[in-house]
Amino acid sequence: MNMMDRMIAALAPRAALSRARARAALMHYDAASVGRRLGTLRATGTDADAAANRRQRMAYVARDMVRNTPFATRAQQVITNNTIGDGIVPRISGLPGDQQDAMLKLIERVLDTTAIDAAGRQNLYGLQRLVMNSVVDAGEALVVAEWQTPPYGPKQFPLKLRVLEPDFLDDSFDHQMMPDGGWVQNGIKYDGTGQRIAYRIFKRHPGADAYTSHGWTTASEWVPARHVLHVYRVDRAGQERGVTWFAPVVLTLQDHADYQDAQIMRQKVAACFAGFRSLPDTESPSTVPSMGGDIEPGLIQDLYGEETVTFSNPPDVGGYDEFTKVTLRSAAAALGLTYEALTGDLSNVNFSSGRMGRMEMDRSVSSWQWTMLVPQMLDPVGDWLLEAWSMQRPDMATVIRSARIEWVPPSRILVDPAREMRALKDAVRSGFTSRSAVVRGFGVDPERLLEEQTADQNAADAAALIFDTDARMKAPGSPGAASTVPAAPTAPEKKDERNA
C-alpha cells in the first residue's frame, strides 16, 4: 500500500479494501503479482546502464571464473573459437583488377602480420580474438587507432591498432553536464544530440604497477571518438555499456564447481581406509603414537586403554551426473551454446540431434558476428584501412575511396560433410544460391580461390597431368570421365646411331 492507501485505510477501511480489490483485478498476468514466489526478483524501472551499475564488479568475478573454473574457461574458448576461428578475413571490391591485387597484397603484408598491432604481438585476427575474449568476460572492449606521423616509408603503414580492456575507461568522469548541452556519463562524452565525441581513457591499466618519475599515477585523457571503437553486445535499447556474458550463470557455474570439489573431497575421505588396534591397559601410553587428527590411506593406528574412535555417518550424496547435466545445460542455454559444445559430452548425440543443436548455435554465432563484431569493429577498421592506404599512396587516393572492404567469417564446420556437401551442390545447381556464396560460407575469398584453381589447372596442363579432381577432364575409368582425354606429349624419338 502506498501512502494514500494507508491514509484511506485509516479513515475508511471499506473504501481502502475496494481500492485494493480493484488494483488486484487489474493484474491479469501472474508476473505482475507481488508475493513470496516472486520475492527473489528485483522489479525496477531502471534503464540498461543503471541496472548494471556494478558491471565492473561483475567483470572481475567473471575473469576470476575464467581463470579458475574449467567450464567458464571452456565457454569463453567455444564462443571465441566459433565466432572468430582463424579470423574474419577482409575482401576487397570496387577496384580495378591490378589495383585490387595490389590492395590484397597490402592486406597480406599488413593485416596478416603483426604490423597492424601497436604492441607488435598479434595480426588482425589475433586482435579480433582479444576483443571477443574481453567482450565475453568483461562485457566490452575498446579498439584505439594510433596514427603514425609522416613521412611513410614503403614498409611503414600509417595505422596501428591497440586493443584495451574496459578497465581503461575512466568512469569516474560521470554525471557531468556540459555548457553546450552535452554530458559525460561512464567516462564517455556526448554532444547535445547524444552522439559520442570522446572517451576518457587511462594511459595505463589502473590495475597495473604504473610507476613514473612523478610517482604512482592513474592519469587519463580524452581521446576523440573517431579514433576509438567500443565493442559490446547491445541487449536493450539505449544501452551505452556492455555487461559480462557470464552474469546469468555466475552462481550456477560456481555452485557446480563447489559441488564438484565436495564430491572430490568425499572420494578422498572414502579412500582413507584405516585399521585400529586396541592395546591392553598395561601398555605404556608413551609407546603409543598420537593420531594427531589425521587419517591416511592404509593407516594402522594403535588405541590405548579405553580410547575409542567414532566416525560420523553422513548421508550418501547421489545424483552427481544428473546434477551436473542440469546445471551445465542451464549454463549453456544462457550463453547461447549447446550442452555438447560446452561440455564435450557427445554420448547421447546422433546426426539429427547434433545438427539441430548446431543450427541453433550457428544462429547465435552469426548474430555475434553480423550484429556486433562487423558493424562495431570491422567495418570502421575497414574505413581506417582505406584512409591509411590513401595516406600512404596519395596518387591513388581517389580510386581508393571508391573501394569497399567486406568481411568473410570463418568457415562453419560441417556435421556430416558427405550429406551437406551434396546439399550445397544441389542448391547451387538449382539456382537457390551462388557458388561464391557457398565459398564465402567456408570462410574463403571466392576471388582468391578462383585464382588458385586457375593456377593449379594451368600448372597441371603445362605438365600434362590429369587429376580425378579436375572437373574439366577426369582420369580414364573414373565416374563421368570424358570420352577423349588429351594425350600427354611424348619424348622425341631417338635416332639409332648405328644405322645413321
Q: What is the residue extent of each domain of the chain?
A: 3-43
Instruction: Taking residues 405-431, report their average pLDDT.
Output: 83
DSSP state of 443: T
- pLDDT-derived band at 357 (thresholds 50, 70, 90) equals confident
Q: What own/partner pairs with CB < 8 Å and gap ≥ 24 does 52-57 have?
A: 52/241, 52/243, 55/139, 55/241, 55/242, 55/243, 55/244, 56/166, 56/167, 56/171
Instruction: Taking residues 438-461, report their average pLDDT.
Output: 82
Q: Is the pLDDT of residue 336 over 80?
A: yes
Segment among 289-303, 344-358, 359-373 with least mean pLDDT:
289-303
Instruction: Taking residues 156-182, report their average pLDDT.
Output: 91
- H or E segment and range at residue 190: strand 188-190
Q: Is the pLDDT of residue 236 over 50?
A: yes
Average pLDDT of the chain, as a whole number: 82
Report which listed range, 201-215, 345-359, 455-469, is most confident: 455-469
* Structural contact between residues 386 and 401, judged by C-beta atoms closer than 8 angstroms: yes
- Which is more confident, 220 or 437? 220
pLDDT at position 116, please? 93
Q: Is the pLDDT of residue 439 over 90?
A: no
Which of these, 500, 484, 406, lies nearest to 89 by C-alpha position? Answer: 406
Segment among 66-75, 313-322, 353-362, 426-435 with least mean pLDDT:
313-322
Question: Peptide bond before 151: cis, by omega within 30 degrees of 0?
Answer: yes
Instruction: Taking residues 304-329, report their average pLDDT.
Output: 75
Q: Is the pLDDT of residue 123 over 80?
A: yes
Q: How far apart are CA 273 and CA 270, in angstroms?
A: 7
The torsion angles phi and psi of 259, rounded to 5 degrees, stand at -65, -40
- Which is more confident, 197 or 400? 197
pLDDT at position 206, please? 86
pLDDT at position 314, please? 63
Q: Is the pLDDT of residue 341 over 80?
A: yes
Give the distance, in angstroms, between the CA of residue 85 and the centroid of all CA atoms in the same chain.
10
pLDDT at position 18, please? 83
pLDDT at position 485, please? 46
Residue % of the chain over a pLDDT of 70: 80
Residue % of the chain over a pLDDT of 90: 33
Q: How far apart are CA 292 and CA 310, in angstroms?
A: 15
Q: What angle do CA 37, 42, 44 make, to 5 degrees?
A: 135
3-state secondary structure of 122: coil
Segment among 168-177, 251-260, 280-289 with least mean pLDDT:
280-289
pLDDT per residue as tens digits for the range 373-405: 999 999 999 999 989 888 888 877 888 888 888
pTM of the model: 0.76
pLDDT per residue as tens digits for the range 174-193: 888 988 889 999 999 999 99
The percent of the chain in helix, strand and coil, each rounded to the nearest 5, is 45, 15, 40
Instruction: Taking residues 216-240, report their average pLDDT.
Output: 90
pLDDT at position 212, please? 52
pLDDT at position 126, please? 96
Q: Which residues contact 306 (CB under 8 A, 6 or more apart)?
A: 281
Q: Is the pLDDT of residue 457 over 70?
A: yes
- Which is more confident, 481 or 361? 361
Q: Is the pLDDT of residue 495 over 60?
A: no
Instruction: Taking residues 55-72, report their average pLDDT.
Output: 93
